[in-house]
Amino acid sequence: MDCISVFDMLKIGVGPSSSHTLGPWRAAEAFLKELDAASIFNKITKVRVDLYGSLSLTGKGHATDYAVMLGLSGADPEYIPVDDISNIINTINTNKQLNFGNKFLIDFNPETDIVFNREFLSFHANGMMFTAFYENEELSSTFYSIGGGFITKEDDSATNTDVTCAFPYLFNTSTELLEFCSKENKSISEIMFENEKTIRTEDEIHHELMRVWNTMLECMYIGCHTEGILPGGLNVKRRAYDMHKNLVGATPYSNSQEWIASIRKTKVYFRQILKWVSCFALAVNEVNASLGRVVTAPTNGSAGVIPAVLMYYLVIENHKAGQKEIEQFLTTAGVIGSIFKKGATISAAMGGCQAEIGVSSAMAAAALCELMGGTPAQVTMAAEIAMEHHLGLTCDPIGGLVQIPCIERNTMGAIKAINAAELALDTDPLTAKVPLDKVVNTMWETAKDMNNKYKETSEGGLAVAVNIADC
C-alpha cells in the first residue's frame, strides 16, 4: 500500500498550478540530482527541456516554462521569495544564460531550449523530458507530473520523498480507514497523526501543520488586501479586495491574527457568510494566479477551498477554535485527499476539474464534519456528498490560465463543502446508499471516459466557447 503523508497532500509552493508549475519545478530539481548522482553535473554545458501533452498545450498559461527554468536554477519553490521570480526569469531571457543548479552559468535560450510538443506521451498527459549535454555526449530523463506537485517516472520510481513508509495504519480505501477507527476507537485525524509520528516527531508535526496553516492565512490576507489586474493577458480584475472592503467594516487591525479577530466582530447573516467564504477562496486563488505562494490542497488550482472552509470555522462557527482545531482540520483533509489520490487521481490532466475542485471540496467537507463532531462514518459521508456533486466537472481554463473559471470554482467548492458537512451531520451513515469508496471509483471511471479536450488542454468547454474579446 502507498503511504501518503498529510504533508504530501498539503505542499507549500508557488502558483499557478501544482501539476504544471510545482511538478515541473520538482522534476527539474530531480533531474539535477540525477546528474549529480551520475557524476556529470559539473560537466554540463547545455540543457534542453521538451514538454508534452497538457504541459505543452497550457504550459504558457500555467508558467511551466518559468517553473523548469527556476528548478534548473536551483531555486526552492517552498522558500524562494516570490518577488525574486520575475528578476530571475528576466535575467535568463535577457542574458540567454541560466545559473545551473545555482552553481555555474550555462548558455540557455528559453525560446529554443524549451520545446512545446503538442503530442502526448502514452504514460501520462503531463510528460516532460530533460536532456543535458556534455563532452559530446548527452543524458535524457523523462518525468511525469501526476497532480498535486507529485512527480514520477514510467518505472514508478519514487521521486517525491526519501521517507520509508512505516505507517502502523495502512489503508487505501475509506472502508479500511473506518475499520481502524472502529478498532482503535479513534477519529480519522487521530489515526493519521499516529501514522505521521513514524515520519516526524510530534513537535515537528505540530510545527509543520501550523506552517501550512500560516501560509494559507497569509495567502488569504494578501489576496484580500491586493487590488488590480491579474497577470496573463485576460485582464481579470481582482475581486477579493473590493468584496473584503465591503465586508470587514471599520474594526482596526495590523496583521493576519488581528484580522481574524476583526472578522469575528462582523455580521453573520447568511448572505454575509456566503460572501466571506467566497472572499477567502477568491483571495487565495488570485494570489495563486499571480505566482504567489500557496498550499496545494490538493492542487494549486483548488488551493482556495480548504483555507476558505477552515477560515469559516474559525471566524463564524467557533470563535474559541485555535491550533488544536486547525491541526485536526488539516490532518483530516489530508487523509481524505490521499484516498482520492490512491483510488482515482488529483490531476486535472487525467480527470478534469473533478480531480481538483471535487477532491478539495471532499477534503474540506470531511475536515469540517470532524470538527463539528461528526463520527468517522459521517466524515467519510461528507466527503462522498461533496464529490458526488462534482462528478464530471471539466477542466477548461480560458487561455490556459488558472483564472476563468478556476477562481470562481473554488468559491463553489467551498460552499458545497460546508453544505455537505451539514448534510452528513444530520444523516445516519447506515442509511447511506453511496459509500465514499464507490464515489472514488466512479470518479476514476468518469475520468477515463472524459474526452481529452476537457482535461486541462484548453481545447474544449469554456476555453473555446468564450471569445474574451466579446466579453
Strands 12-14 and 104-107: unpaired
Q: Is 280 exposed, middle or buried (0-12, 13-18, 19+ CB in 10 A)?
A: buried
Asked if 359 contacts 402 with a C-beta cutoff of 8 angstroms, the reply is no
Render pLDDT for 399-435 as a digit per residue (tens, 0 to 9).
Answer: 989 999 999 999 999 999 999 999 999 999 999 899 9
Spatial distance between the Cα atoms of 152 and 137, rounded to a whole number of angstroms: 25
Render pLDDT for 283-333 as a digit per residue (tens, 0 to 9).
Answer: 999 999 999 999 999 999 999 999 999 999 999 999 999 999 999 999 999
- Rounded mean pLDDT of 460-469? 82
Residues of the chain with pLDDT > 90, as a percent, come to 93
Burial 290-308 (b: 16+ CB within 10 A, else e): bbbbbbbbbbbbbbbbbbb
The grid coordinates of residue 467 equal 471569445
Q: pTM of this prediction?
A: 0.94
- Rounded mean pLDDT of 205-222? 98
Residues of the chain with CATH 3.30.1330.90: 6-152
**Residue 164: what pLDDT?**
60
- Rounded mean pLDDT of 116-125? 93
310: nearest Cα among 413, 216, 190, 188? 216
The residue to which cell 482535461 is assigned: 455
What residues contact residue 402 under an 8 Å CB cut-off, 6+ apart? Answer: 15, 16, 17, 61, 62, 285, 288, 289, 300, 301
Least confident of 45-54, 146-155, 302-311, 359-368: 146-155
**Residue 162: what pLDDT?**
44
**Residue 467: what pLDDT?**
64
| DSSP element (H, E) containing 74 | none
DSSP 469: G
**Residue 250: what pLDDT?**
87
**Residue 1: what pLDDT?**
66
- CA triple 212-215-219, angle to 5 deg: 140
Least confident of 146-160, 341-355, 382-396: 146-160
**To which CATH superfamily is domain 6-152 assigned?**
D-3-phosphoglycerate dehydrogenase; domain 3 (3.30.1330.90)
**Residue 158: what pLDDT?**
47
Spatial distance between the Cα atoms of 321 and 367, rounded to a whole number of angstroms: 14
Residues of the chain with pLDDT > 70, as a percent, come to 97
3-state secondary structure string across 229-284: ECCCCCCCECCHHHHHHHHHCCCCCCCHHHHHHHHHCCCCCHHHHHHHHHHHHHHH
**Residue 176: what pLDDT?**
98
Asked if 289 contacts 15 with a C-beta cutoff of 8 angstroms, the reply is yes
The grid coordinates of residue 378 equal 459521517
**Residue 251: what pLDDT?**
86
Asked if 163 contacts 5 with a C-beta cutoff of 8 angstroms, the reply is yes
Spatial distance between the Cα atoms of 288 and 294, rounded to a whole number of angstroms: 6
The residue to which cell 501514522 is assigned: 195
What residues contact residue 190 under an 8 Å CB cut-off, 6+ apart? Answer: 184
Using the predicted structure, report yes or no on whether residue 246 has a pLDDT greater than 70.
yes
Q: In what order do the strands lie in the sheet with 137-147?
A: 114-117, 46-53, 126-134, 137-147, 150-152
**Residue 69: what pLDDT?**
98
The residue to which cell 513537535 is assigned: 203
Residue 107 has phi, psi (to 5 degrees) of -65, 135
**Residue 254: what pLDDT?**
96
**Residue 91: what pLDDT?**
97
Using the predicted structure, report yes or no on whether residue 468 has a pLDDT greater than 70.
no
Strands 97-100 and 137-147: unpaired
Angle between helices 305-312 and 202-224 (to 10 degrees): 90
Q: Is 4 exposed, middle or buried (0-12, 13-18, 19+ CB in 10 A)?
A: buried
Spatial distance between the Cα atoms of 415 and 413, rounded to a whole number of angstroms: 6
pLDDT band at 118 (very low <50, low <70, confident <90, very high): confident
Spatial distance between the Cα atoms of 429 and 406, rounded to a whole number of angstroms: 32
Residue 331 has phi, psi (to 5 degrees) of -65, -45
Render pLDDT for 428-437 as a digit per residue (tens, 0 to 9).
Answer: 999 989 999 9
**Average predicted confidence (pLDDT) for the chain:** 95
